[in-house]
Structure 1
Amino acid sequence: MRILIINPPHPAIGSRIPDDHLPPLGLLSIAGPLIDDGHTVRLLDAEFGPMPLADIVRDALAFAPDAVLIGHSGSTSGHPSATAIFRALRPVLPAARMIYGGVFPTYHWREILAEVPEIDVIVRGEGEETARQLMAALDGGGALRDIAVADIELGHIPGIAYRRGFKAIANLAAPVIQDLDAYRVGWELIDFKRYSYWGGKRAVVVQFSRGCPHLCNYCGQRGFWTRWRHRDPKRFAAELARLHREHGVELFNFADENPTVSRIAWKAFLEALIAENVPVLLVGSTRADDIVRDADLLHLYKKAGVIRFLLGMENTDPATLKLIQKGGGTATDRQAIRELRKNGILSMATWVVGFEEERDRDYWRGMRHLLTYDPDQIQLLYVTPHRWTPYFRLAAARRVIQLDRSRWDYKHQVLATRHVPPWRVLLWVKLTEVVLQARPKALWRTYLHPDAVLRQSMRWYSQMGRRVWPYEIKNFFLRDRRTAAGPSVAAFRGAPQDAEEEALRVVRPPRAGRRTPAAPLPERPPAASGRARSSG
């Protein structure tokens, strides 16, 4: 089949302001197995520009695909853009299969299939194996390409949702992919020269692990991956080294929620990458308690190329931390930042605002706490409830002030707070950012730090902040359309789905002494091209 994979243009502030762009790892991960199955696959990255809808339609028509796959890592706020593309393509590509995937459609499949008739199938959860089986079923060796999707038997494919008549149905959830090295990333679909990060460095997104074992009840990713797994440390390090040597990649941005869960596996990766002897930089996210646990390993972090870790601290108020089940503690957060600094690694502290009972004094107290933490960089976010998280029930009665779903991206206020109006919440956020990033210590690290690499990193982040800061203020007052009398969260987004939070099913090995049942899924065939797989 001819398969067109589209990365839709995203409205998020982070996508529109920086000059840097990163490739869509999730879509490339779907593409690799499809290429190996013999399909002709093309990636249309509409983030560049961003591409106008008319240009997307033009390029899609020129490729003449049998199937169109659309997905986005920020799929909640990206959903309106993806929907617009499906609706524009269906009239001009009436025979093409329209397939949608990502976190948002995984959980909102009922509404999407009811509201967007242009979409034929939704892939729920991890897509590598599901997309392979779906494409094989829709193609049937070419015999089924002219048959409507509704007339093709799809009931045997785990992890999809589709229509039968006027009814939307979802098959059994797909099994968790136990071996993350079994599926390679389709790196050949991108021009590496087009992608950069960290101030123009050639960069890609990679993933050492999937999932997170912690129980933060607001996290929209925890249940999507179901359980934490990691790639083979040596194979993963070899892939990063190959991408540097063959394609000049200088920086790797980790998409993992928490790559350092296993001290043993993470240490093995660091040592393997050090042994590869490639001058690369690594940035990612982790938990402060993992950094404190690994205090004796941080020299390996630095030697392997780790330049910054984002630490999800979320808040310092004990009641709020208990509410969101964050775990950890303020003492650990401070120690993690100190340990990173001792080893020449930058720290970024994330801070979430917009909880129901916050008052002005809470924002003042939070800013003072952040100053005592002394992070190198700061990122403030607004609390955003998702239907499939336990936190949604806690926020269900709160008032929605932002009805534009493309603004539900953690960088826009979407919920009213009882005691502080939106304009004053914004004032506190901007004030906190200025105080943290313009204080003497931060300015010294930005312009006078003796380590040239760290100094350049701080300057790049400062330059980006100077562009984002006024952009957010201008949009808040001139473009964002908020309502003072919006519906409740439950009325706007629907019933809670926390009972469906786990998007994948865990297939456990049989107990000793029991007969192993026949495998419910077909075995993965060898690559159709006969080409050796990459280590990814």
Structure 2
Amino acid sequence: MRILIVNPPHPAIGSRIPDDHLPPLGLLSNGGPLIDDGHDVTLLDAEFGPMPLDEICRNIAAHAPDLLLLGHSGSTSAHPIAGKIAAGAKARLPNLKVIYGGVFPTYHWQDILRDEPQFDYIVCGEGEETCRDLVRALASDTDLATVKGIAFRRDGTPHKTPSREMLADLDAWRIGWELIDFARYSYWGGKRAVVVQFSRGCPHPCNYCGQRGFWTQWRHRNPERFAAEIARLHRDHGVEVFNFADENPTSSKKMWKRFLEALIAEKVSVTLVGSTRADDIVRDRDHLHLYKQAGVERFLMGMENTDEAVLSKIRKGGSTTTDREAIRLMRQHGMLSMATWVVGFEEETDRDYWRQLRQLLAYDPDQIQSVYVTPHRWTPFFGLAKGREVIQTDQSKWDYKHQVLATRHVPPWRVFVWVKAIEVIMQTRPKALWRLLTFRDPKLRHAQRWYYQMGRRVWFHELFGFLFRDKRLKQGPSVEAFWGESLEAHEEALAKPVRMTRLISEGRRSAPQVPAQ
């Protein structure tokens, strides 16, 4: 079949303003198996530009595919533009069939199929095997009820088939790297870059996380094969920066250490950036030198809040003491730390923001990232927040970078002022500026200066948006009235395979060979 995969543009995210773009790993992961099945597959990455809606639809019509595949990593806030693309494409190609995937459609499949006729099929959960089976069924006119993990309309009514087991062997499904031109993608200040994934899932029960139920259990790729793939992408395609999409790649001390040692043995000079937990950094204090040798330049650590009571309420499982120690250890070993600070877990007061600023100063991270708590309908946190007032009803703004909930004691404008002021104070404090000027490691000096440059552009972009572009309600609906009843009961989108525990413990050394790319 002739298949076009479209990566929708995401205009709501302020951090899109840098010139760097990263390839859509999730779509490439679905493209690889479809190519191997003999389908004619093309990727249209509309993030470049970003491409206007009419131009996207014209490109789709010119390609004249049998199937259109849509998905985005930020699927909640990208859903409105995905819907417009699907509708515009069908207006030009009435017989076109649209397959839609991502975290948001996985849980909102019933609403989407009821209200949005432009979507024909929804892939629920991990897409590699499910999308492959769905396309096979469509090509052979097989009964769709035999395909696990999809939703579609049966006699005009939304219908979902039984959930599919999670992918136990992540090495069995190759990424369709041939769908991209590597020269177009960069990160970290113009360096050729891609997104990769060592593992899926997270073993921690943070109740606000929108990813936990989607990926279910933590699983990992074979460490040596994953290291070999990174080395091949560097040697064959000149990729310098590898941005990890993992929620928590370091979950297994043994497997992560094996990966680091395997990558060091490949003797390639690459940059690794991603996210982890502060307690994993502290756990690995005896071999953090391997992180540096392998190429780790920065890890984002989700510290979420500086209040122990809040950390306990959201089931974070960390502590402020561990957070501070992780930052110190990373600096000691020549790596950058980024602390994520989330606003909105509690009904904060001005005093709380002042206390959080003082705590962040005590943490002394190299970088910070402030985001706003966003209650996804399928998370346990949704139940805690269901009575709170929504001030942002534009779904495209539900991207963690816009205030969507009101706070009881501080109006939105003052919350914004606190957040922007804390960002400025943290990045212009004397310690931070001194480090910026005196980094001996040229790679870290480049990375930190790029971060400051991009941070300044994003800061003014978000200020302009708050003042002149974004519209907030003075008296909005409750979270439950806006989204509907909780979907927490459906949080685990995928069933667990019987052999999952043994496969993880073995490290899956016997994975099949990846086809040449």
What TM-score do the two structures reach when normalised by structure 2?
Answer: 0.96
Query: 1:482 maps to which residue?
Result: 472
Q: What SS class does the counterpart of residue 351 from structure 1 fall into? A: strand
Query: 2:190 maps to which residue?
Result: 200
Task: Tell me if structure 1 keeps the 8 A contact 2:152–2:160.
Answer: yes
Q: CA deviation at 1:12?
A: 3.2
Query: 2:19 maps to which residue?
Result: 19
1:443 aligns with 2:433: yes
For residues 255-334 of structure 1, the aligned pairs below 5 Å read 255-334=245-324
Task: Tell me if structure 2 keeps the 8 A contact 1:356–1:416.
Answer: no
Mind listing any 5+ residue stretches in structure 1 that lack a counterpart? 145-151, 512-526
Task: Tell me if structure 2 keeps the 8 A contact 1:352–1:380.
Answer: yes
Query: 2:415 maps to which residue?
Result: 425
1:224 aligns with 2:214: yes
Mind listing any 5+ residue stretches in structure 2 that lack a counterpart? 502-511
Q: CA deviation at 1:509?
A: 4.2
Deviates most, 1-10 or 443-452: 443-452
Alpha-carbon distance in 2 for matches of 1:510, 1:40: 33
Alpha-carbon distance in 2 for matches of 1:238, 1:532: 11
Residue deviations 1:109-137 (CA, integer Å, cap 9, x gap): 01100111011100000000001100000
Residue deviations 1:347-402 (CA, integer Å, cap 9, x gap): 00000012342100000000000000000000001010000000000000000000
Residue deviations 1:247-280 (CA, integer Å, cap 9, x gap): 0000000000000000110000000000000110
Alpha-carbon distance in 2 for matches of 1:532, 1:333: 39
Query: 2:89 maps to which residue?
Result: 89
Task: Tell me if structure 1 keeps the 8 A contact 2:168–2:500.
Answer: no
Q: CA deviation at 1:488?
A: 0.1
Alpha-carbon distance in 2 for matches of 1:426, 1:337: 26
Query: 2:400 maps to which residue?
Result: 410
For residues 11-160 of structure 1, the aligned pairs below 5 Å read 11-140=11-140, 144=141, 153-160=143-150
Alpha-carbon distance in 2 for matches of 1:12, 1:214: 29
Alpha-carbon distance in 2 for matches of 1:509, 1:292: 31
One-letter amino acid of the counterpart of residue 202, structure 1: R
Alpha-carbon distance in 2 for matches of 1:333, 1:369: 11
Pick the aligned partner of 1:470 from 460, 465, 472. Answer: 460
Deviates most, 87-96 or 335-344: 87-96
Alpha-carbon distance in 1 for matches of 2:500, 2:466: 56
Query: 1:211 maps to which residue?
Result: 201
One-letter amino acid of the counterpart of residue 442, structure 2: A
Q: What SS class does the counterpart of residue 145 from structure 2 fall into? A: coil
1:340 aligns with 2:330: yes
Alpha-carbon distance in 1 for matches of 2:439, 2:429: 14
Q: CA deviation at 1:13?
A: 2.5
Alpha-carbon distance in 2 for matches of 1:84, 1:460: 34
Q: What SS class does the counterpart of residue 146 from structure 2 fall into? A: coil
Query: 1:515 maps to which residue?
Result: none
Q: CA deviation at 1:328?
A: 1.1
Describe the shift of the 1:322–1:308 C-alpha distance in structure 2 as closer, same or farther (beyond 3 A): same
1:247 aligns with 2:237: yes
Alpha-carbon distance in 2 for matches of 1:318, 1:356: 12
Alpha-carbon distance in 1 for matches of 2:163, 2:333: 43
Q: CA deviation at 1:91?
A: 1.9
Alpha-carbon distance in 1 for matches of 2:16, 2:213: 29
Q: What SS class does the counterpart of residue 108 from structure 1 fall into? A: helix
**What's the Cα RMSD here?**
1.5
Q: What SS class does the counterpart of residue 91 from structure 2 fall into? A: coil
Q: CA deviation at 1:451?
A: 1.8
Alpha-carbon distance in 2 for matches of 1:431, 1:192: 38
Alpha-carbon distance in 2 for matches of 1:447, 1:40: 51
Q: What SS class does the counterpart of residue 126 from structure 1 fall into? A: coil
Deviates most, 238-247 or 318-327: 318-327
Instruction: Indicate the percent of aligned positions where both proteins have the same amino acid.
Output: 67
Pick the aligned partner of 2:487 from 481, 490, 497. Answer: 497
One-letter amino acid of the counterpart of residue 305, structure 1: G
Describe the shift of the 1:184–1:101 C-alpha distance in structure 2 as closer, same or farther (beyond 3 A): same
Describe the shift of the 1:120–1:315 C-alpha distance in structure 2 as closer, same or farther (beyond 3 A): same
* Runs of 4 or more above 3 Å deviation: none
Q: CA deviation at 1:534?
A: 4.3
Residue deviations 1:277-327 (CA, integer Å, cap 9, x gap): 011000000000000000011100000000000000000112211221111
Q: CA deviation at 1:58?
A: 1.6
Residue deviations 1:497-528 (CA, integer Å, cap 9, x gap): 111000100121499xxxxxxxxxxxxxxx9x
Describe the shift of the 1:454–1:532 C-alpha distance in structure 2 as closer, same or farther (beyond 3 A): closer
Deviates most, 429-438 or 448-457: 448-457
1:368 aligns with 2:358: yes
Q: What SS class does the counterpart of residue 92 from structure 2 fall into? A: coil
Alpha-carbon distance in 2 for matches of 1:383, 1:15: 17
One-letter amino acid of the counterpart of residue 23, structure 1: P
Alpha-carbon distance in 2 for matches of 1:44, 1:87: 17
Q: CA deviation at 1:72?
A: 0.1
Q: CA deviation at 1:478?
A: 0.6
Query: 1:161 maps to which residue?
Result: 151
Q: What SS class does the counterpart of residue 352 from structure 1 fall into? A: strand
Query: 1:533 maps to which residue?
Result: 515
